[in-house]
């Protein structure tokens, strides 16, 4: 039996940083990872997708170069092998620097293997038994595979495999029209694949406001992505070299099928019940506002706790636990304001409430809106798709949320969220001077035009 002060299961976006801080504080720490350091973000998620999205944008700009007065003689060709090699280099560099950083940390032992709980303080990795005073779960989430008849017998793809296909798909069918599916849809379309998105609900990105969903759909359809909304896949079968998908009345044939219907917490197989850790009905680890599970010496951070599904929320979980255990304390998950991006091009930046949520909150809400076609920066770039929208409370003057779907939207959103964190009224941001010509410079103007949300 090995003994440690602290044991961390999973090296995602909180585990490694927490391990380093605890070890630096003099605790004897073990970090167990069954696959690769960096977890989803580094190996299968944010980093590889955004690297490939950059290649896809380069292909799109090259194909459309004439719009900006640039002539490219001859066809534009995507070298898939080079695109993949570039992605792999970025991933390997990031994983490698994490490995050398953690590998050189005193008091920290890295253990390779899949962990499971034996009892409240004992963990097994294969034959090895490890005991620790405190345990931190950072096991993340995995793609969900829908129970479509016939699918399990076929070589379908998930976000963990689609970027490594040996050749570009002729026709990529994507089951699921939410964030992950949409980023891959535009990316592969720009690489030259035919792409069909099949979404069971009536609109894409269903958690967003209806006008946002409609504009996202228009952006994708303009580039030739085919969208089939309100459509369920009822059966999948091999048809020659291709895969046939039954869509009720219709059928489509695709060379590749990507399943992107959502992610489920990686809690099964950990035997958390042996440690007194309760899960909710969807398998997420139940945590309190300081990320303690139902076993007070066990914490859960990142996607597995269901309190966020992003790299920045997982990293914030690390900061909350770290501040409360090693620092001055006082950090809570409920202090966090929702913020995220959807990295289609142009991107969606979102923070706080949607208009639907603000309406449902019962507040008197003000809304300001401006199409990107009236934003100088977007006009100069020749990319005027999208709009910006800001919500404020008519009584308290607090900012409630914002949507910037358009160029630089993922960056420009931050001045709004920072004002929300400061607890300042929207008038503060209205008086702020932003540099010209940026998307952010129009934020004060949008606030000047606030009108009641109907």
Ligand X SMILES: Cc1cc2nc3c(=O)[nH]c(=O)nc-3n(C[C@H](O)[C@H](O)[C@H](O)COP(=O)(O)OP(=O)(O)OC[C@H]3O[C@@H](n4cnc5c(N)ncnc54)[C@H](O)[C@@H]3O)c2cc1C
- Pick the closer one to ligand X by CB: 34 or 397: 34
The one catalytic residue among 112, 171, 312, 436: 436
- Pick the closer one to ligand X by CB: 365 or 413: 413
Interaction between residue 139 and ligand X (CB under 6 A) = yes
Q: Which of 4, 6, 7, 12 binds ligand X (CB under 6 A)?
A: 12
Q: Among the candidate windows 146-154, 303-311, 394-402, 422-430, which touches ligand X by CB under 6 A?
A: 303-311
Interaction between residue 9 and ligand X (CB under 6 A) = yes
Q: Among the candidate windows 19-27, 35-43, 280-288, 320-328, which touches ligand X by CB under 6 A?
A: 35-43
376/219 Cα distance (integer angstroms): 20
Contact 391, 352 (CB under 8 A): yes
**Residues 109-138, mask of contacts with ligand X (x by CB under 6 A):** -----xx----------------------x
- Pick the closer one to ligand X by CB: 92 or 369: 92
- Pick the closer one to ligand X by CB: 252 or 416: 416
CB of 36 to ligand X, least distance (A): 6
Q: Which of 6, 44, 215, 345 binds ligand X (CB under 6 A)?
A: 44
CB of 224 to ligand X, least distance (A): 22
Structure tokens at 354: 């949607």
3-class secondary-structure state, position 361: coil
260/266 Cα distance (integer angstroms): 16
Q: Which of 60, 191, 284, 310 binds ligand X (CB under 6 A)?
A: 310
Interaction between residue 39 and ligand X (CB under 6 A) = yes
Side-chain half-sphere exposure of 135, counting CA atoms within 13 A: 29
What values do phi and psi take at 247, rounded to 5? -120, 65
Helix H or strand E encompassing 61: helix 46-63
**Residues 213-252, mask of contacts with ligand X (x by CB under 6 A):** ----------------------------------------
3-class secondary-structure state, position 182: helix
- Pick the closer one to ligand X by CB: 295 or 309: 309
Interaction between residue 45 and ligand X (CB under 6 A) = yes
Q: Among the candidate windows 41-49, 164-172, 412-420, 443-451, which touches ligand X by CB under 6 A?
A: 41-49
Interaction between residue 159 and ligand X (CB under 6 A) = yes
Q: Among the candidate windows 3-11, 65-73, 80-88, 387-395, which touches ligand X by CB under 6 A?
A: 3-11
DSSP 284: P
**Residues 262-301, mask of contacts with ligand X (x by CB under 6 A):** ----x---x-------------------------------
End-to-end CA distance of the chain: 64
- Determine the distance from the C-alpha atom of residue 446 to the mean position of all C-alpha atoms in its chain, rounded to a whole number: 28
Name the residue with the smallest CB distance to ligand X. Answer: 140
Q: Which of 4, 6, 7, 14 binds ligand X (CB under 6 A)?
A: 14
Interaction between residue 140 and ligand X (CB under 6 A) = yes
Interaction between residue 410 and ligand X (CB under 6 A) = no
What values do phi and psi take at 329, rounded to 5? 80, -170
CB of 16 to ligand X, least distance (A): 9
**Which among 367, 331, 330 has a CA at the least distance from the CA of 352?**
367
Interaction between residue 46 and ligand X (CB under 6 A) = yes
Q: Partners of 3 in the beta sheet? A: 131
Structure tokens at 394: 């008519």
Side-chain half-sphere exposure of 136, counting CA atoms within 13 A: 33
- Pick the closer one to ligand X by CB: 130 or 325: 130
Interaction between residue 49 and ligand X (CB under 6 A) = yes
Interaction between residue 40 and ligand X (CB under 6 A) = yes
Total residues contacting ligand X by CB under 6 A comes to: 36
Residue 92 appears among annotated catalytic residues: no
- Determine the distance from the C-alpha atom of residue 220 to the mean position of all C-alpha atoms in its chain, rounded to a whole number: 19
287 conformational bin, left if phi > 0, alpha if psi -120 to 50, beta if neither: beta
- Pick the closer one to ligand X by CB: 180 or 413: 180
399/396 Cα distance (integer angstroms): 9
**Which among 27, 42, 37, 39 has a CA at the least distance from the CA of 112?**
37
DSSP codes joined into one string, 255-273: SEEEE-S-EEETTTTS-GG
Nearest 5°: the CA angle 431, 437, 438 is: 70
Give the CA distances from residue 29 to residues 32, 129, 135, 295, 316, in Å, rounded to whole numbers and listed in that order.
10, 15, 10, 19, 20
Q: What is the number of residues in the chain?
A: 454
- Determine the distance from the C-alpha atom of residue 408 to the mean position of all C-alpha atoms in its chain, rounded to a whole number: 17
List of residues contacting ligand X (CB under 6 A): 9-14, 32-35, 39-41, 44-46, 49, 114-115, 138-141, 159, 180, 266, 270, 302-304, 309-312, 314, 343
Q: Which residues are catalytic?
A: 436
């Amino acid at each position: 039996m090995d003994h440690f002060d602290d044991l961390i299961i999973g090296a995602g976006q909180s585990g490694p940083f927490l391990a380093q801080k605890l070890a630096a504080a003099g605790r004897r720490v073990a970090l167990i990872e069954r696959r690769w350091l960096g977890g989803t973000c580094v190996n299968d998620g944010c980093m590889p997708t955004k690297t490939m999205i950059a290649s896809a944008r380069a292909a799109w700009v090259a194909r459309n170069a004439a719009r900006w007065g640039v002539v490219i003689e001859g066809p534009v060709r995507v070298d898939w092998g080079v695109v993949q090699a570039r992605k792999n280099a970025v991933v390997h560099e990031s994983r490698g620097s994490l490995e050398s950083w953690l590998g050189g940390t005193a008091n920290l032992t890295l253990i390779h293997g899949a962990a499971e709980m034996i009892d409240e303080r004992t963990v097994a990795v294969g034959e090895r038994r490890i005991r620790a005073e405190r345990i931190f779960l950072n096991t993340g989430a995995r793609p969900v595979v829908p129970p479509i008849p016939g699918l399990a017998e076929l070589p379908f793809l998930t976000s963990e495999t689609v970027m490594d296909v040996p050749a570009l798909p002729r026709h990529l069918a994507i089951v699921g029209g939410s964030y992950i599916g949409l980023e891959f849809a535009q990316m592969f379309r720009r690489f030259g694949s035919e792409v069909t998105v099949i979404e069971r609900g009536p609109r894409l990105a269903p958690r967003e406001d209806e006008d946002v969903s409609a504009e996202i759909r228009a952006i994708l359809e303009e580039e030739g992505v085919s969208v089939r909304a309100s459509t369920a896949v009822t059966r999948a079968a091999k048809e020659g070299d291709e895969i046939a998908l039954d869509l009720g009345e219709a059928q489509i044939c695709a060379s590749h099928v990507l399943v992107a219907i959502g992610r489920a917490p990686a809690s099964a197989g950990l035997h958390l019940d042996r440690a007194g850790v309760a899960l909710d009905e969807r398998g997420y680890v139940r945590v309190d506002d300081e990320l303690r599970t139902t076993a007070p010496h066990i914490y859960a951070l990142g996607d597995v706790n269901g309190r966020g599904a992003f790299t920045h929320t997982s990293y914030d979980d690390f900061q909350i636990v770290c501040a409360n255990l090693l620092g001055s304390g006082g950090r809570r998950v409920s202090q966090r304001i929702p913020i995220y991006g959807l990295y289609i091009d142009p991107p969606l930046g979102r923070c706080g409430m949607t208009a639907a949520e603000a309406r449902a909150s019962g507040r008197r809400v003000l809304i300001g809106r401006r199409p990107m076609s009236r934003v100088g920066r977007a006009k100069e770039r020749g990319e005027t798709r999208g709009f910006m929208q800001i919500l404020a409370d008519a009584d308290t003057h607090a900012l409630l949320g914002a949507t910037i779907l358009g160029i630089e939207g993922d960056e420009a959103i931050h001045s709004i969220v920072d004002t929300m964190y400061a607890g300042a009224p929207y008038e503060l941001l209205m008086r702020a001077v932003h540099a010209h010509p940026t998307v952010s410079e129009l934020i004060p103007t949008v606030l000047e035009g606030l009108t009641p949300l109907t």
